[in-house]
Amino acid sequence: MTPPNEPPAEVNAAPAPDAAGLVPGHPRTTPDATPAPPSAPWQGSAPQQPPLHAPGPTGTPADAPQPPAGTTPPGGQHAPGAPQPPAPGTAATPPSGPQATRQATRPPRRRTQRIRTGLVVLGVLAAGVTVLAALNSGTRHGLLDPRSADPSGSRAVSELLKERGVTTRVVTTAREAAAATGPRTTLLVTDPDRLGATQRRQIAWASDLSGGRTILIGPTSHSLTELAYGVHTKGDADPKTLAPDCAFPAATTAGRAGLGDGLRYTTSAARAIACYPSDGHPTLLVLPAGTTGGDTVVLGTGSILLNENLADEGNASLALQLLGSRPDLVWYMPTLEDSDADSRDAGERQDFLDLIPAGWSWALLQLFVAAALAALWRARRLGPLVTEQLPVVIRASEATEGRARLYRKARARDRAATVLRAAARERLAALTGVAHTQAHDPAALGPAVSARLTGGTHDVTGLLFGPTPSDDAALVALADHLDALEREVRTS
């Protein structure tokens, strides 16, 4: 007889997986392989090939002695469970059983390739958006900056002034600009309206006492009160080149210039020189600065200083004569630090979107479109609904008992009594012929039930529509009474 813990011998049959998930006669591939846990009845699993034994006279006798572990019995067959090295020159057979199942559950290579492809696509999109944002980051980058070679910069006029011996110094604060003024200095203020009240007073005081020239580009009424007293704006000029129409030497020498896309001004100063009028109002004013010998030039626009416009008409000549009248040029580019509360209250307040370059809005829009397209491409397609059997069938008695435990744990005697009475009323209505819509009406159900009862008086209304039981014992008694009432009506 074969011992119960010893498998029968195998003859000319394919080896089957042992308890460790390995095939006898093949090497162990992973030393830490453990059998997978058994699946639930409703879960699918890969079928395994059962071991094929050949008992009886056609194979090895069932009670034949087994060879020692690690030895080869006659015929070249190995005992199940005996570790054996692979034969020389042969490749290892792929594992089967639980080990193969575990390897099959690993993420497929195709999923990894899809993830990599998606990351590459996102990287290409991000790089493209960055390049487009850099190319379209706004055409006014470095506006009136003498160090910028962009179309909106002013490096060209700065280089021309350098060739004529004029040194250009860029400052960004009103204190530096005021300290650098003098009779041999031209002070250019690129954005006077950005200055606060304190900064405007500093520049006006320095201009009056320096004896040099101060050039204001595009000032409005917000800054003209302190920087150019007696000058007021008069709307926008026509977008065209204008003739000088004045006796100012720099204007008459330059001829026509592109000052038609800025502001127009009016002035009450007696000795002011008005040039390049548009509809009767000048776009360039020259105001003498008291007895110091200096002057203040008000330009309605700074377009004649831009790299892209310097070669048009007489822009270069006018710019060189205005900025090169002194050997030193202080190029003052105000920053937000020179603004104070009163300038923001006067209309210079900017929201968050105004601080973002124009190109980034298009970049964000492109990113949004790319994300939407990626979502549509990779989104899960919802198909029709399918029915699926529940993995576990719960009997009605178990569900009722579970709900009763919940009621008891919550001390919901009122809810439990309501459920018991409602169910009893519906069953009694069906037994007594009362309509289903009147099953919960005491006037309709009470007399019908009482008519089916025999012997004695019964408080049917109090039993079916009474108050909530005061304790658990009263609730149990209510359930017993309802059962007795229903049995009596059913058997009457």
pLDDT digits (tens, 9 = 90+) for 354-399: 666 666 777 888 888 998 888 888 776 667 777 777 677 788 889 8
Average pLDDT over residues 286-312: 88
In angstroms, the CA 104 to CA 327 distance is: 83
**Residue 456 in this model has a pLDDT that exceeds 70:** no
Query: At 15, is the pLDDT very low, low, confident or very high (cuts 50, 70, 90)?
Result: very low
Q: According to the model, what pLDDT value does residue 394 have?
A: 80
Q: According to the model, what pLDDT value does residue 376 have?
A: 83
The residue among 81, 92, 91, 105 whose CA lies nearest residue 16 is: 81
Average pLDDT over residues 26-45: 41
The neighbouring-strand residues paired with 131 are none
**Residue 135 in this model has a pLDDT that exceeds 80:** no
**Least confident piece of the model among 7-16, 271-280, 290-299, 385-394:** 7-16
Q: According to the model, what pLDDT value does residue 81 have?
A: 47
**Residue 90 in this model has a pLDDT that exceeds 80:** no
Q: According to the model, what pLDDT value does residue 69 have?
A: 46
Write out pLDDT tens, residues 92-111. 455 555 555 455 555 567 77
Query: At 119, is the pLDDT very low, low, confident or very high (cuts 50, 70, 90)?
Result: confident
**What whole-number percentage of the chain has pLDDT above 70?**
70
Query: At 424, is the pLDDT very low, low, confident or very high (cuts 50, 70, 90)?
Result: very high
Write out pLDDT tens, residues 317-364. 999 999 999 999 999 999 888 776 554 444 445 566 666 666 677 788
Average pLDDT over residues 183-206: 92
Output b/e per residue, 296-316; b: 16+ Cβ within 10 A: bbbbbbbbbbbbebbeebbbb
Q: According to the model, what pLDDT value does residue 233 have?
A: 92
Q: According to the model, what pLDDT value does residue 29 have?
A: 43
Query: At 400, is the pLDDT very low, low, confident or very high (cuts 50, 70, 90)?
Result: confident
**Residue 11 in this model has a pLDDT that exceeds 50:** no
Query: At 255, is the pLDDT very low, low, confident or very high (cuts 50, 70, 90)?
Result: very high
Average pLDDT over residues 172-180: 92
Q: According to the model, what pLDDT value does residue 99 have?
A: 52
**What whole-number percentage of the chain has pLDDT above 90?**
40
**Least confident piece of the model among 38-42, 73-77, 172-176, 299-303:** 38-42
**Helices 358-378, 109-135: crossing angle, 10 deg rounding:** 160
Query: At 51, is the pLDDT very low, low, confident or very high (cuts 50, 70, 90)?
Result: very low
Q: Is the dihedral of CA 463, 464, 465, 468 positive or negative?
A: positive
Average pLDDT over residues 228-245: 89
Average pLDDT over residues 215-223: 92
Mean pLDDT, rounded, of the chain: 77
**Residue 4 in this model has a pLDDT that exceeds 60:** no
**Least confident piece of the model among 39-53, 60-74, 321-335, 387-401:** 39-53
**Residue 52 in this model has a pLDDT that exceeds 60:** no
Q: According to the model, what pLDDT value does residue 248 have?
A: 92
Average pLDDT over residues 288-303: 85
